[in-house]
């Protein structure tokens, strides 16, 4: 199969459409061709007139580890073009940067999760392109989490840099497909194009969204493998808690824990109350000691989620519900546990981080309600999931 960047470079007709136009590239470290050449280098080598580049959160080079760590603008030392940060002094492209190109190529590996900020950056550049009369082409890439949909829909008024619009946590679209929805939903008058993949089968085993013949490269520093991408729609919620999400270990956002919980008891409680939400994966007790971030240099008891191997059931795995169930088990076992982290999250200062992440307070309120059962969360969430599956159908390209 071919990703969007590979199709562009191998199709003279597509390249001809860029002839005589100034081209910018929005990219990160995973923006590579099939032979692992970075897209910026490959475009220049193909004779494309690249006049600027943009970097999203964590930077064009993936140099920033944690959230809310800003990247500066700089000049590319090889190709001598300006590189504008969209996670530094600004989140949206400035008028100055928009005047450096005619066509913006967006080549970003996404994780298929609403909170992953690359999709918000896509929305912001589409809005800027509509304002300035520029064209945007998404060079499409796979959604490694595949087509399944899960989670509550972001509520009106809860939009943020981790909440680009009213969709569930796990949206099941590629970046190119999501851009089509953005254009329609926000009624953007923009010259938008998707350079589609060739031979992409998102429901096919064994990858179920990620073609196993392609090398995985971290699109952000804590996205080390496909297992993380599959689990992320649930484990990302850990960022809004006092539990470690494994930052400072070699398996971030695949495991979770803390020094003051009994992981075996937590897993037993999860099995007692919501065994059906543990389907499709293997869960293993672990001990780990983060070298930085939460609980640094403290031995944590925790659980590791394995959405891989013989236990993996792509359509049975429910990462958002699994993580919600873990929170519920901790709340049941330790009623006074300080679970929710109170700090500014992605520049939202007046709401709890867990609520910003979920696009509303519903998940947290379910966890904290002593009488609430898994069926209650299902009843709240399933209508949102069904509605999104209906909405997104018109935007599917594969």
> Cα–Cα distance between 301 and 315 in angstroms, integer?
29
Q: What are the pLDDT digits (tens) for 217-260? A: 999 999 999 999 999 999 999 999 999 999 999 999 999 999 99
Rounded to an integer, what distance in angstroms lies between the CA atom of residue 242 and that of residue 293? 11
Q: What is the pLDDT of residue 64?
A: 57
- Average pLDDT score over residue span 333-360: 94
* Gap between the Cα atoms of 307 and 112, Å rounded: 15
DSSP-derived secondary structure letter, 249: S
pLDDT tens-digit map of 374-393: 999 999 999 999 999 999 99
3-class SS shares of the chain: helix, strand, coil, % to 5: 35, 15, 50
Instruction: Please give the mean pLDDT across all residues of the chain.
Output: 96
CATH topology of domain 226-383: 3.90.1150
pLDDT tens digit string along 161-212? 999 999 999 999 999 999 999 999 999 999 999 999 999 999 999 999 999 9
CA distances, 330 to each of 257, 355, 368, 382 (Å)? 10, 18, 10, 24
CB 322 within 8 A of CB 267: no
What confidence tier does 344 reach under pLDDT thresholds 50, 70, 90? confident
* Residue range 22-33, pLDDT digits in tens: 999 999 999 999
Looking at residue 167, its pLDDT comes to: 98
Q: Which residue has the higher pLDDT, 74 or 329?
A: 329
Instruction: Give the Cα separation of 126 and 191 in Å (integer).
Output: 9
pLDDT at 89: 87
Superfamily of chain region 4-220+390-395:
Uncharacterised protein PF07075, DUF1343 (3.40.50.12170)
Nearest CA to 185 out of 391, 390, 396, 389 is that of 391
Render pLDDT for 79-124 as a digit per residue (tens, 0 to 9): 999 999 999 889 999 999 999 999 999 999 999 999 999 999 999 9
Q: Are 244 and 237 within 8 A, CB to CB?
A: no
Mean pLDDT of 274-296: 97
Q: Where are the domains of the chain?
A: 4-220+390-395, 226-383
Please say if the pLDDT value at position 310 is more than 60.
yes
Yes or no: say if 299 and 290 are a contact pair by the CB < 8 Å rule: no
Give me the pLDDT at residue 66, please: 55
The answer, yes or no, to whether the previous bond of 206 is cis (omega within 30 of 0) is: yes
Residue 337 has pLDDT above 90, yes or no: yes
The model's pTM: 0.95
- Span 37-88, pLDDT tens digits: 999 999 999 999 999 999 999 888 766 555 556 678 899 999 999 999 999 8
Q: What is the pLDDT of residue 71?
A: 75
Contacts of 378 (CB under 8 A, 6+ apart): 321
pLDDT band at residue 20 using 50, 70 and 90 as cut-offs:
very high
């Amino acid at each position: 199969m071919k990703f969007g960047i590979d199709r562009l470079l191998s199709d003279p007709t597509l390249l001809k459409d860029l002839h005589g136009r100034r081209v910018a590239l929005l990219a990160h470290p995973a923006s590579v061709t099939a032979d692992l050449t970075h897209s910026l280098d490959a475009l220049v080598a193909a004779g494309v007139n690249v006049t600027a580049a943009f970097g999203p959160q964590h930077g064009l080079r993936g140099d920033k580890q944690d959230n809310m760590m800003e990247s500066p603008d700089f000049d590319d030392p090889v190709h001598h073009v300006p590189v504008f940060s969209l996670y530094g002094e600004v989140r949206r492209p400035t008028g100055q940067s928009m005047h450096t190109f005619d066509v913006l190529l967006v080549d970003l590996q996404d994780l298929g999760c609403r909170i992953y900020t690359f999709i918000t950056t896509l929305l912001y550049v589409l809005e800027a392109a509509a304002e300035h009369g520029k064209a945007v082409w998404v060079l499409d890439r796979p959604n490694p989490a595949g087509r399944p949909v899960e989670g509550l829909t972001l509520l009106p008024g809860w939009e943020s840099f981790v909440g680009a619009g009213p969709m569930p946590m796990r949206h099941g679209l590629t970046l190119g497909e999501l851009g089509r929805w953005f254009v329609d939903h926000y009624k953007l008058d923009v010259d938008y194009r998707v350079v589609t993949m060739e031979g992409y089968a998102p429901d096919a085993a064994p990858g179920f969204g990620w073609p196993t013949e392609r090398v995985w490269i971290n699109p952000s520093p804590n996205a080390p493998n496909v297992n993380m991408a599959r689990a992320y729609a649930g484990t990302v919620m850990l960022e809004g808690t006092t539990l470690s999400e494994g930052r400072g270990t070699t398996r971030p956002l695949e495991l979770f824990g803390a020094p003051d919980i009994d992981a075996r008891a937590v897993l037993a409680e999860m099995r007692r109350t919501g065994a059906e939400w543990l389907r499709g994966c293997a869960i293993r007790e672990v001990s780990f000691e983060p070298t930085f971030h939460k609980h640094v240099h403290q031995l944590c008891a925790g659980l590791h989620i394995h959405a891989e191997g013989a236990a993996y059931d792509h359509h049975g795995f429910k990462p958002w519900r699994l993580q919600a169930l873990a929170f519920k088990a901790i709340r049941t076992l330790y009623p006074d546990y300080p679970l929710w982290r109170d700090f500014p999250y992605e520049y939202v200062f007046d709401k709890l981080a867990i609520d910003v992440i979920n696009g509303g307070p519903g998940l947290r309120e379910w966890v904290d309600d002593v009488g609430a059962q898994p069926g209650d969360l299902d009843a709240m969430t399933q209508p949102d999931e069904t509605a999104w599956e209906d909405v997104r159908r018109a935007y599917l390209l594969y």
